[in-house]
Amino acid sequence: MDFSRPSFILQVPIVLHLLMNVAAVCISLKESERRAEFSAYADRHGMQFTFVDAVTPDDIRDGKVPSGCKVDLSDLRWTKHVPHDARRKAAPILFTEIADAYSHILCWRKAKRLDVDFLAVFEDDVEILRPFEQMDFSGSWDLKYISDRMPANTLGRAWGNRYGSEGYVLSKRGLDRALKIFSTLYMPLDLQLIAPFHFDRGGPVRFGGPVVKGGRVSDVKRGRNMLCRIGRCV
């Protein structure tokens, strides 16, 4: 996983002509045919990014996993809230979902070491809709969804039963909190990111309600103008 390429850090101008360090990555299997299509979408809008090789189930079997991140399946009550997901009938978390979570966690850790202000994470099955510079970085928030799949309420807060991790941005504070939350993996990544007891709020697992129980509206948001959407290659 090489983040040393200059394109990993984007200098994006913001209000008062200050500069902030913004990293944009796309998680993709090393030999995936989707890379060419994602690159074409990104190039169309002048978006710089770095491909990150996704962790695979074979990597997990070979012990190539992030240190300090354990998997705990001792409490599976949350699966009652997703009765229509056929995958949960096979297993609470699939090998591929564990690998997916590890891929994202490794990106977060690298961004933390590089001390970026914001990390934008894409998966390779999305279509980029507009230039990255149109992303709104203002306000105080931890996690902002920039894909069209996550619905929002009238306050701009992520809200609803459609999940996904194909396009989101973490602030510097959000990176710290996400890494703390994922010291233990017990749900698929997209569910664990938005479960309402996260970001140190406490409370039971519930779906279809506020994504952060008792949290500020600014904690988890859905961008007004979506930057990406699930592409045709899904």
How does pLDDT run across 128-147, given as a tens digit for each residue? Answer: 888 877 777 777 888 888 87
Q: Report the distance separating Cα 64 and Cα 56, nearest Å.
A: 9
Task: Determine, yes or no, domain membership for 145.
Answer: yes
- Does any domain span residue 1? no
Q: What distance in Å separates the CA atoms of residue 210 and residue 47, rounded to the nearest whole number?
A: 32
**pLDDT at site 225:** 53
**Does residue 48 sit within a domain?**
yes
pLDDT of residue 185: 92
* CB atoms inside a 10 Å sphere around CB 230: 16
- How does residue 6 score in pLDDT terms, banded at 50, 70 and 90? very low
* DSSP 3-state of 178: helix
Q: Which domain holds residue 178?
A: 6-230
Q: Provide the pLDDT for residue 61.
A: 94
Q: Tell me what pLDDT residue 82 has.
A: 79
* Degrees, nearest 5: CA angle 159-121-18: 95
Q: Give tens-digit pLDDT for 79-124.
A: 887 778 888 888 889 999 999 999 999 999 999 999 999 999 999 9
Asked if residue 162 belongs to a domain, the reply is yes
pLDDT of 193: 84
Q: Considering the domain boundaries, does residue 101 fall inside one?
A: yes
Render pLDDT for 20-69 as a digit per residue (tens, 0 to 9): 788 899 999 999 999 999 999 999 988 889 999 999 999 999 998 889 89
Pull the structure tokens for residue 101. Answer: 């979570």
pTM: predicted TM-score of the whole model, two decimal places: 0.80
- What's the confidence (pLDDT) of residue 222? 44
Alpha-carbon distances of 32 from 52, 186, 220, rounded to whole Å = 11, 27, 31
pLDDT at residue 103, as a whole number: 96
Residue range 167-208, pLDDT digits in tens = 888 999 889 988 988 999 988 998 888 774 333 333 333 322
Tell which wins on pLDDT, 76 or 207.
Answer: 76
- pLDDT of 10 above 90: no
Q: What CA–CA distance (Å, rounded) separates 42 from 26? A: 10
Q: Which of 162, 138, 133, 145 is nearest to 226 (CA)?
A: 145
Q: Does residue 81 contact residue 206 with C-beta atoms inside 8 Å? A: yes
C-alpha distance from residue 8 to each of 43, 111, 177, 183, 217 (Å): 15, 9, 22, 25, 30
Asked if residue 77 has pLDDT above 60, the reply is yes
113-141 burial by CB neighbour count: b if 16+ within 10 A, else e?
A: eeebbbbbbbbbbbbbbeebeebeeeeeb
Three-state secondary structure along 27-45?
EECCCCCHHHHHHHHHHHC
Total structural domains in the chain? 1
The arithmetic mean of pLDDT across residues 3-15, rounded, is 49
> Per the domain annotation, does 192 fall within a domain?
yes
Question: Is residue 10 assigned to a domain?
Answer: yes
pLDDT of residue 152: 64
